[in-house]
Amino acid sequence: MPIALYALTVGSFGIGVTEFVIMGLLLQVSADLHVSVPTTGLLMTGYALGVFVGAPILTLATRSLPRKTTLLVLMAIFTLGNLMCALAPSYGWLMAARILTSLAHGTFFGVGSLVATSLVAPERKASAIAVMFTGLTLATLLGVPFGSWLGLALGWRATFWAVSAIGLLALAVLAVFVPRATEPVRPGPLSEELAVLARPQVLLGLAMTVLGFGGVFAVFTYIQPILVELAGYDKADVSPILLVFGAGLVVGNILGGRWADRRLVPALVGTLALLCLVLVGAGFGFHDRVGAVAASFLLGAAAFATVAPLQMRLLQQAGGAGQGLASSLNIAAFNLGNAFGAWLGGAVIAHGPGLAAIPPIAALVPLSALALAAVSLTLERRTARVPAEC
């Protein structure tokens, strides 16, 4: 893999830390800014919604720029947003800074996916996407626990100062190692790019992403009470188990990318089916201390095994002019799935059968994505058959 891919990995690592580290800083931020913990938790919601809104807007706004320039602009926005977080004098300022930072998220991963696939041979495109997303998995495995520890030791602002430094490092390595893109600066008509939103296959792909990751975050959002109340662990034991979950993310991300390189459609169907099975099994595993550790690893692996197949499938269906917008929208769809999953898990706790029922109910969500994959493949076969008959 070319070194430029690892420059993209540095950027995705910083973005991943920024998105999730607030979960480990809720109590410190709440006490310092004099707001409740649930109100502080809205900083996660605000970020996710910012990704969902910012992805299509910034993708279209930067469509006339070379991709390398776009990546540098986005990383500058990311760094500025984290500096504002570190200096935030109030909750409102911090929320605004989080939203500013989130605007760069979707377009960075969307454009970054296109750059990553342009750097390698066709048979390695999915693996290239997986390498870039390794930064996100490493952020969950290492960056978020370290950021939480740093915030506890030196104050939550120190964490955002550290992430700002990562942003400056990413800006430097992107500038040095990512080559100038060869595609023309002048894009085609905007109508051609927007036309991708009218393609049924693209809409089905986005829906599969929302539902695939919705099931994951229905469980992951409430992993602490699940491990404490169901498996019987102490609160202090949760962080080491999250490292196991993060290790699963890394393994699943790599294996899913390699599988998608070899056979994309079986990888898409197989990873979604595997995620359903893991969630069903987790419903039993989380009731046992050893089983909970195994379930955490398998959930992380199954979750991120779906990333490269889902992203590659959408790029394949979007085609040339619409790939940039479709790629960014798919990243927004991942975040929409996160928000939906968190809502679903909360609803099961508050209005349903309770905490123990979250994993099996969550399994129905990627099962719905699997049904949509079947619809998508059926439409594809019918479309291919019509021209052949003509």
- pTM for this prediction: 0.76
Helix axes 156-177, 26-33, angle to 10 degrees: 120
Residue 287 in any domain: the answer is: yes
Q: Does residue 41 fall inside a structural domain?
A: yes
pLDDT score at 279: 94
Taking residues 301-312, report their average pLDDT: 86
- Band (pLDDT 50/70/90 cuts) for residue 321 is low
Which residues have CB under 8 Å from 207's CB, separation 6+? Answer: 333, 369, 372
Consecutive H or E run containing 83: helix 67-87
Q: Are residues 159 and 280 in the same domain?
A: no
Per-residue pLDDT for 289 more than 60? yes
Contacts of 70 (CB under 8 A, 6+ apart): 62, 107, 111
User: Looking at the domain assignment, is residue 107 inside a domain?
Assistant: yes
- Kindly state whether residues 152 and 242 are assigned to the same domain: no
Residue where a domain terminates, one of 115, 144, 176: 176
Same-domain status, 123 and 200: no
Residue 271 has pLDDT above 90, yes or no: yes
The answer to whether 67 touches 111, Cβ cutoff 8 Å, is yes
**Which letter, b or e, does each residue of 34-52 get, where b requires 16 or more Cβ atoms within 10 Å of its Cβ?**
ebeeeebbebbebbbbbbb
Residues 163 and 229 in one domain: no
The mean per-residue pLDDT over the stretch 325-344 comes to: 80
Number of domains in the chain: 2
C-alpha distances out from residue 122 to 68, 115, 126, 140, 262, Å: 20, 13, 9, 29, 11
Query: Per-residue confidence at 298, pLDDT binned at 50, 70, 90?
Result: very high
Q: How far apart are CA 279 and CA 215, in angstroms?
A: 8
Q: In this structure, what token pair is assigned to residue 283?
A: 């419903």
Q: What percent of the chain shows pLDDT beyond 70?
A: 92
Euclidean distance between the first and the last CA atom of the chain, given in angstroms as a whole number: 43
What is the per-residue DSSP string for 35-59? --HHHHHHHHHHHHHHHHHHHHHHH
User: What's the rounded mean pLDDT across residues 7-26?
Assistant: 82
Q: What pLDDT score does 182 carry? A: 46
Q: What is the CATH number of the domain that holds 339?
A: 1.20.1250.20
Tell me the residue range of the domain where 347 lies. 195-383
pLDDT in tens, 153-210: 888 899 999 999 999 998 998 888 888 764 545 556 667 667 777 788 888 888 998 9
Lowest mean pLDDT among 39-48, 87-96, 278-287: 39-48
| Residues whose CB falls within 8 Å of the CB of residue 182, separated by 6 or more in sequence, listed in order | 118
Give residue 388's pLDDT band: very low, low, confident or very high (50, 70, 90): low
Distance separating alpha carbons of residues 93 and 374, to the nearest angstrom? 45
In a domain, 190, yes or no: no
pLDDT, one tens digit per residue, over 233-246 is 887 777 788 788 88
Q: 14 and 44: one domain?
A: yes
Percent of the chain with pLDDT over 90: 23
Residue 332 falls within a domain, yes or no?
A: yes
Q: Are residues 147 and 227 in the same domain?
A: no
Mean pLDDT of 279-293: 91
- Residues 143, 241: Cα–Cα separation, whole Å: 15
Residues 339 and 225 in one domain: yes
Of 144, 176, 208, which closes a domain? 176
Average pLDDT, the chain: 83
The per-residue pLDDT for 118 is 80
Q: DSSP states of 325-343 as a string?
A: HHHHHHHHHHHHHHHHHHH
Q: Are residues 144 and 240 in the same domain?
A: no
Task: Work out the pLDDT band at 275, boundaries 50, 70, 90.
Answer: very high
pLDDT tens-digit series, residues 84-117: 999 999 999 999 999 999 888 878 887 887 788 7
118 part of a folded domain: yes
**49 and 98 both lie in a single domain:** yes
Are residues 248 and 320 both part of a single domain? Answer: yes
Backbone torsions φ then ψ of 177, nearest 5 degrees: -105, -25
Averaged pLDDT, 342-367: 86
Buried b (16+ CB within 10 A) or exposed e, 14-31: bbbbbbbbbbbbbebbbe
Q: Is 191 exposed, middle or buried (0-12, 13-18, 19+ CB in 10 A)?
A: exposed
Q: How many CA atoms, within 13 angstroms, populate the side-chain half-sphere of residue 52?
A: 17
SS3 label, residue 73: helix
In terms of domains, do 320 and 364 share one? yes
Judge whether 302 lies within some domain: yes
pLDDT in tens, 113-140: 778 878 778 777 777 877 887 787 788 7
Q: Please give the average per-residue pLDDT across 254-262, as a whole number.
A: 85
Tokens read off for 229 = 């109340």
188 in any annotated domain = no
**Pair 286, 374 in one domain:** yes
**Could you tell me if 120 and 1 are in contact, meaning their C-beta atoms sit under 8 angstroms apart?**
yes
